[in-house]
A and B are shown apart, each in its own frame.
Chain A
Amino acid sequence: MTAPEGPVLSGPVRELADRIVAKYPVARSALVPLLYLVQSEVGWVPREGMREVAEILGLTTAEVEAVATFYTMLKLQPSGRYVISVCTNPSCSLLGGRRLYERARDVLGEASERVTDDGLFTVEEEECLAACDAAPVVTVNYTYFDRVTEEQLEGMIAGIREGRVPEASRGGVPGDLREVSRLLSGERSLPGPERQPASATGDDGA
């Protein structure tokens, strides 16, 4: 997907952005949430989106970019609609995580490091996902599948290709990267209308 023509955060999405900003005592805390919101609109985070976020928060684009490049879940180049992450940290690899990762790469090819030609997949090697009891662990858009075998992994990929996204071990059927990014932006935890954000530092210099 190429970068968008018009503004990324406009209309109701821009209103949502304002509500997300409002839940923090200092606007800048909403930087990553707003980048997730951009990702939910575009499917990744183009520079144009960073510029808009900078404008909303009163920062420079360079400041936003410096933050965006720090975090692996913000995709700074076009990404697959389904990000398949395979944990290869030892607790998983001792039980086959490394082989799973290699299998995913074999099935989806070199391009999956960025995005497959059909735009569907990105494959990532993950560090410990805090679910080592369920090793080896695979996530689809950061939704967990426990004790995955190579066969199951191939089945998951085939299913997604046919539009049948498999149900995760917990958390239901993962949405695509845009939907999940929307969730990550914090849209489900917004302050009620009556909640006034407190002054951040007790003085006005914040």
Chain B
Amino acid sequence: MPEFEPVLTARWGNADAVSIDGYLETGGYRALGKALATSPPALIEEVKASGLRGRGGAGFPTGTKWSFIPQSTGKPVYVVVNADESEPGTFNNRELLERDPHQVLEGLAIACWAVQCHTAFIYCRGEFVWPASVVERAVAEAYDRGYLGRGVAGSDFDLDVVVHRGAGAYICGEETALLESLEGRRGQPRLRPPFPVTDGLYGCPTVINNVETLSCVPHIVDRGATWFAGIGTEKSTGPKVFSISGKVNRPGNYEAPLGTTARALIEEHAGGISGGRALKAWTPGGSSTPYLTADHLDTPMDFEAVMAAGSLLGTGAMIVLDETDCIVDATLRFTQFYAHESCGKCTPCREGTWWMSRVMGRMENGHGRGEDIELMRDMGQNMLFKSFCALADGAVSPIDSSIKYFREEYEEHVRLGRCPFKDEPGAASVTDRTGGTTGSLAQVLPEGREVQLGEVLG
């Protein structure tokens, strides 16, 4: 295979590329001109032919999504950039925004031409005070230079872009919750169907795409669908920015073709496990994707192969745990995350995540019982695919997969009546001593109080 040349991160070494002058000098906005000279249907065909699939987690084909936008409803069409990036372990959108904001703006403008949208939104998570400011500045520059506003790049196509800042809620990354939030409501998911492509923002046809997805678009237009489809695997095409964190020597964002093995990413790009220790578990795509182990390191990181290995590619965020890390402790902390972030709209998720965090807490703190393992699996079965949105499925992933691969570790917590890792030299405790959750759920079961199954499910 020829040496891979970075595509999405190519400008990261060039601090000037953040400004529009630096961006233009490195070929920026060339693709936009080319796109505007292409008919929207032909452009959508090109993106379809590239095989580009959404990088926000679900992997839906981008060109197909665009083609679903009806053009004859008499309603305006909207495009919304999902820059809510909150899936634990995921941090490539932030760096793409901070280091190359015009790349995503150019991709957005091309998408807007393809679906004939004249008002687009960039929904940034509230905590991105600085990254969103970088985007705001880029938007202002693009207006000044005529790449946004009246007559984009000298054409007669008009486009306005509004930067909107969220206010702290993971669920707002889910596309329908994001739309609710953008409409000035609580960020709670909507029932689908109807899907946003027909009934989205303000009830109008709406495309929602991730920052990384849109960052791919200018390159597809500039260098062609065939070139893009030649990167990666047959069904998972193109480059991907993998966020690697936890116990590796060089945590960071690394761009590689989809289908690069996890081993190459962890051992070569991220410099291997810190302190020369052994790898214990890793997530292929953030905390909502089932853990994999050292046995799965040769899995190619593409949608199909990761699924065949029993997990999901998700956002490609690899959180790495080593042999000194307690899987129960880490899983408890993820469970607390879901309990805290559950929007409360549906019962299996609202109640399930809460009780799971109680039972996990009891387990980690040495009060667990043998039956708790089955109890948690049972609770998981009552949440999986029975909830309103995929947050609940994500909550079940770390629990189910940790029990699958590390059941003995749970059993050891029960047998010893304590966490076997807590007194290890160098081991970091991820959760607090009470197993309490963050935020408003800081109620703790009295010690020794038993949870009855009926109580959990009733």
Is B76 part of the contact surface with A, judged by Cβ < 8 Å? yes
* Given A26-B202, A29-B164, A183-B129, A94-B184 contact (CB < 8 Å): no
In whole angstroms, what is the CA distance A86 to B306 when docked? Answer: 32
A130 touches B321 (CB 8 A): no
B169 touches A72 (CB 8 A): yes
B166 touches A32 (CB 8 A): yes
Is A73 part of the contact surface with B, judged by Cβ < 8 Å? yes
Number of A-B residue pairs at CB separation under 8 A: 215
Interface hit among B25-33, B57-65, B243-251, B365-373 = B243-251
**CB < 8 Å neighbour of B204 from A67, A184, A201:** A201
Q: Which residue of A lies closest to B74 (CB)?
A: A202
Which residues of A, 6-35, contact B by the 8 Å Cβ criterion? 23-26, 28-33, 35
A16 to chain B, nearest CB (A): 15
B139 CB contacts on chain A under 8 angstroms: 189
In whole angstroms, what is the CA distance A203 to B74 when docked? Answer: 8
**Interface size, A (range):** 35 or more
B330 CB contacts on chain A under 8 angstroms: 90, 94
A90 CB contacts on chain B under 8 angstroms: 88-89, 246, 287, 319, 321, 330, 333-334, 430
B127 touches A129 (CB 8 A): yes
B185 CB contacts on chain A under 8 angstroms: 28, 31, 67
Interface hit among B90-98, B231-239, B374-382, B406-414 = B90-98
B89 touches A195 (CB 8 A): no
Interface hit among A114-122, A133-141, A148-156, A158-166 = A133-141
B140 touches A202 (CB 8 A): no
Q: Which residue of B lies closest to A175 (CB)?
A: B129
A95 CB contacts on chain B under 8 angstroms: 246, 428
Is B23 part of the contact surface with A, judged by Cβ < 8 Å? no
In whole angstroms, what is the CA distance A30 to B133 when docked? Answer: 18
In whole angstroms, what is the CA distance A135 to B143 when docked? Answer: 36
- 9 A-B pairs, CB-CB below 8 angstroms? A28-B185, A88-B438, A89-B287, A98-B431, A129-B127, A130-B94, A180-B129, A194-B150, A198-B118
Query: Which 8 A-B pairs have CB atoms at the shortest separation, nearest pair first?
Result: A171-B130, A71-B167, A31-B184, A132-B245, A28-B184, A72-B168, A202-B75, A73-B168
Q: A67-B185, A96-B428, A141-B129 are in contact. List 9 more A-B contacts (CB 8 A).
A: A66-B186, A90-B287, A90-B430, A128-B88, A130-B93, A130-B127, A197-B119, A202-B74, A202-B76
